[in-house]
Each structure stands twice: as structure tokens, then as C-alpha cells.
Amino acid sequence: MIVLCNDDGFNADGIRAIYKELVKVAEVVIVAPETEQSAMGHAITLTQPLKVRKVVEGGELIGYAVNGTPADCIKIATTVLFDQPPEMVVSGINLGGNLGTCAIYSGTVSAATEASIEGIPAMAISLNTFENPDFQYAAEFGARLVGMVLEKGLPEGVALNVNVPAVPRSEIKGVAVTRQGKSRVVETFDKRVDPRNNTYYWMAGEMRFDEVDDEADCFQVSNNHISVTPIHFDLTSYKSIDELKGWNISL
């Protein structure tokens, strides 16, 4: 069984597109947030109960809508919803790329990394656009890659972060195995005043990519290659350990 999650919500077009492709080859159950949870990162819900609603369409159970975050969905899916853990978790298809440091903020990517923490092979897949998305080719490619993961497996603790260029399939040049690139968010805040004269701010901004290295995900996607990046949840900077030991930190 494959559990399908995302951060755009249970009824988002992207998750429904890949669901249609995956059910052709495997048993699939959607366990996804009831409402949009974009940019929630790896947040989990501790201060309120999680409600799980069965979703039936065409007389068949297709999944469960959860009033929580993507990571909440995976925790519930791997512990209480089923008699045994899923064989794989697929998260997506996200509306918008998850390239560079975007991966840190992404609830879609965090659903995949949560699964990898639980020892379950996982993949996040995103379409690199916010306008007029056509998820069909990304769904077809994602389903093929899922088949390869099920056949070959993944290293322990590793998930795949997949980003697909939003161009016609005839313009996609190939697939590149990449590393997470360097990027930064250039924020802007729109200052507004509500009817009670209280000031509030609405965050906007754009992601800027600072890579010319052809090993980086953002470089490859901008050049019409699908990027496949192996990611893990170990945030340790190993190259810094010896330097810090040299500080002779003590009480």
C-alpha cells in the first residue's frame, strides 16, 4: 500500500493527478491535510486534537482528511490508521517548486522526510510553477519513479525530492540527480490597517537562486531537467565538528 500526502490539501489538483496514475499500479490511500498547509515545514500538532475524516467517492474509500499538518498525517498513517505501515509514502504533486532552501519550509517535503524518519521509503514531487499548472506529465513521471523505488529501495533515512519543470514534456531535456541548491527568500511585507485601525502585515516576496553549479537542483530545473535530490533529516555540519572541538569549550 502507498500512502499519498501533500501540503496543498486533500482536494488539490496535484494530489488528485498523481492519485489517478498511482492507482493503476498499486493500492493507494490518501492521508492528507483537510485544508491547505503550505509552508508548514515539519510542524506537528501538540495543543489540540487531530480529527480524521473518512473520504468516500464513488462508493469507495479513497482516504482520510486530517485537520493537521503533513507531518501529522504521516504520523497517523504510520501508527494508527492501518494494520501495518505503508510500503511507501508519496507526497505531492506540490503546486510550486521545492528547490534550494524552499525544501526546509515545505510541508510536502516534510511529509516525505517524516516517512523516512519512520523507516519508510518516501518521495516528494513538485511542479515548478504557480500559474496554469498541468500536472499530467509530472504525475506520469512520478508514478514511474515510484515503481523504481519500490523495486530498488532507498538508503535508510533517505527520501527523494523531485522537481519537474513546468514546460511541455517535449521540452524536458532529461533527468538529473542533484544536490540541494543555494537560494534565499527576498521578503516584502505589505503594511495594511484593518477596520479597527490595527496595523497588520501581509508577507510576500520571491525566491532567488544563487547557483551556477550544474549539480544544483535549481540550476537543472531552470534548464528544463527534472531534478531528483536524495535528502535526509540529519542537519549536522560534520566539517565543523573538529573546528568546534578546537575551541576547548568547557564549563
**What confidence score (pLDDT) does residue 207 get?**
66
155 CB-contact burial (10 Å; exposed 0-12 / middle 13-18 / buried 19+): exposed
Q: Which residues, 6+ apart, have CB-to-CB distance to 175 below 8 Å?
A: 225, 226, 227, 228
Report whether 71 contacts 106 (CB < 8 A): no
**What confidence score (pLDDT) does residue 211 get?**
66
Q: How confident is the model at residue 189 (pLDDT cuts 50, 70, 90)?
A: confident
Report, as an integer, the average pLDDT of 200-227: 85
Phi and psi angles of residue 241, each rounded to the nearest 5 degrees, phi first: -60, -50
Which cell is 57 given?
A: 467517492
Report, as an integer, the average pLDDT of 139-150: 97
Q: Which domains, and CATH codes, for the chain?
A: 2-180+212-245 (3.40.1210.10)
Q: How far apart are the C-alpha atoms of 87 and 25, rounded to whole Å? A: 13
Phi and psi angles of residue 105, each rounded to the nearest 5 degrees, phi first: -80, -20
**Residues 192-205: tens digit of each pLDDT:** 999 999 999 988 76
Residue type, position 64, single letter: Y
14 closest CA partner among 189, 120, 117, 134: 134
